[in-house]
Structure 1
Amino acid sequence: MTDDNSEPLQPLDRIQQNVLAKAERRLLNWICARLPLWVTPDKLTGFGVLGALVVFFGYALSGWSLHTMWWCILGYAMQWFGDSLDGSLARWRKIERPKYGYFIDHSVDGLVILLIMAGMGLSPYVRMDAAAFATIGYLLLSIHAYLGARVLGEFKLSYFNFGPTELRFVLIALTLAMMVLGPDAGRIGKLSGFDFFVGAAAALLNLLFIWQTLVTARRLDLMERPKAK
């Protein structure tokens, strides 16, 4: 889950227009000013991955006990704390390592989304193929962001005023709905209502990738089209 928490290889125009961005930035700055010195960016990155592991086991073990779904809520909070603060703390303390931070941060993002969606796919609520389809869509959009950073000098962190923090709130709400409604909610044949929800979200992510690819390709074409003599 990519947040505005790493420095790229060169200065980029960060496009972050999600609803909670300004309020979240104030909160992160407040936290950074109060973290003890023994808390480092690398430790925060590891803490975020630990949160994703907690989410994974919360979903994966939910067929055994409904109460493990509470682990998911805790894990999302842990993942937000680590992922949102690692780069923020580095910039606050002026100890950035641009190449290392950029590489580690976005490598970890791929692992985190894999853990979350794999756990959801192992639960009795969402089929693994629906979870895999959503993972593909998220990773395709991530690839688009990384390519945009390279060819346009822009790093897009939100779409339609919706960013990683808003996504975590949606996932928390989805988890609570699973706990309240049960795995058979809205079931039609072999598909539950949660399969339809995750599948629809996955389709949206994949379509958004295609649309953004076409838009960016058009921009690049106009930028590099030979001028008529």
Structure 2
Amino acid sequence: MSETKKTISQDRKRTNILHRQELAFIAYLVERMPRWVTSNMLTALGLTGNLLVAVLMCLSSIQGAWLLLLTPLAFFINWFGDSLDGRLAYYRKKPRKWFGFCLDIMVDWIGIVAIGLGYYTYVQPEWKVVGFIFVVLYGAEMIISQLRYKVTDHYSIDSGIFGPTEVRIILSLLFCSEFFIPGSMHWSGLSVSVVLFLSFIADFRKLLAVANERDRAHQQEGQIAS
């Protein structure tokens, strides 16, 4: 692994399918980022991408589903800002680990809520609850990632082989399919929510098992000390 890759990946473990290709691309980009670009600017850009997704969905409910064909561009903008903000700080050896951690969590939550509202605006009344369920379940996965960090001292934003990048790609394809297959977003939104629910259950069970093992280790340490 190159020195740049080591520098920008030192604070987290990735397990998603595209992590090797993604890391190589990020390393390429941070080495060529203009000096005037800051991490905070990239964070704002990432949020703008998610807000643009929400705006496109809202406008599609009025102007037509063809606007959903632009959502891959909006998701790429989000990926660009969200993936490079912290990486750029580490590359320039000016990381603000806890500041960036807090900011990223809140910005990601705002973006997810915005996308959920966009979905809520676009779909038919009887499907609107799916947008609410999506936001709740995605938020639950975010909580799991924070609890995992607390319990294991290792920060991971992936759920098995899927991470934010894969989720962006899947959502882009599902949103675009609405233009070619009208009404498909209703069922795709429900399908994504089911997958998120199953992922949450699996991740929560694993987390509880790890937490239980850590408790046992602490109890054994206490018995030895006494």
- What is the TM-score when the length of structure 1 is the normalising length? 0.84
C-alpha separation in 2, matches of 1:219 and 1:46: 35
1:4-51 residue CA offsets vs partner (Å, 9 max, x unmatched): xxx9xxx86x33111111111111111111111111100011111111
Note if contact 2:75-2:168 (Cα within 8 Å) is conserved in structure 1: yes
For the residues of structure 1 that align with 2:35 and 2:124, how far apart are their CA atoms?
Answer: 42
- Offset of residue 175 of structure 1: 1.4
How many residues matched? Answer: 210
Secondary structure, aligned partner of 1:101: helix
Task: Give how far 1:157 is off.
Answer: 2.1
Which residue number in structure 2 is paired with residue 161 of structure 1?
Answer: 161
Secondary structure of 2:139's match?
A: helix
Q: What does residue 53 of structure 2 align with?
A: 55
Measured against aligned partners, the alpha-carbon deviations of 1:23-81 in whole angstroms (never above 9, x if no partner) come to 11111111111111111100011111111111111001112222322342221111111
Instruction: Name the structure 2 match of 1:42.
Output: 40
Matched, 1:224 2:222: no
Q: 2:84 corresponds to which residue?
A: 85
Deviation at 1:100, TM superposition (A): 0.8
Q: Distance in 2 between matches of 1:219 and 1:44?
A: 34
Identity of aligned residues (%): 26
Alignment partner, residue 135 of structure 2? 135
Deviations 1:117-146 (A, max 9, x none): 211221136932101111111110110110
Q: How many angstroms apart in 1 are the aligned matches of 2:213 and 2:88?
A: 39
Partner residue in 2 for 1:206: 197
Is the Cα contact below 8 Å between 1:54 and 1:71 reproduced in 2? no
Q: Distance in 1 between matches of 2:30 and 2:213?
A: 42
Measure the CA separation in 1 of the matches of 2:168 and 2:129.
21
Q: Is the 8 A contact 1:118 1:128 kept in 2?
A: no
2-side partners of 1:88 and 1:110: how far apart?
A: 20
SS of equivalent to 2:210 = helix
Larger helix share, 1 or 2: 2
**Contact 1:125–1:182 under 8 Å retained in 2:** no
Q: Which amino acid aligns with 1:128?
A: K
The Cα shift of 1:216 comes to 1.8
- Of 12, 20, 24, the residue aligned with 1:26 is 24
Determine whether 1:118 maps to 2:117: yes
Output the CA distance in 1 between the equivalents of 2:91 and 2:85.
Answer: 10
The alignment partner of 1:156 has SS state of coil
Q: Which runs of 5+ in 2 are unaligned?
A: 1-7
Paired with 2:189 and 2:123, the residues of 1 have a C-alpha distance of 14
- Whole-angstrom CA distance in 2 between matches of 1:88 and 1:156: 15
Q: Which amino acid aligns with 2:62?
A: W
For residues 70 and 139 of structure 2, what CA distance do their matches in structure 1 show?
24
3-state SS in 1 of match to 2:60: coil
Amino acid at match of 1:213: F
| CA distance, structure 2, for counterparts of residue 93 and residue 125 of structure 1 | 48
For the residues of structure 2 that align with 1:138 and 1:15, how far apart are their CA atoms? 20
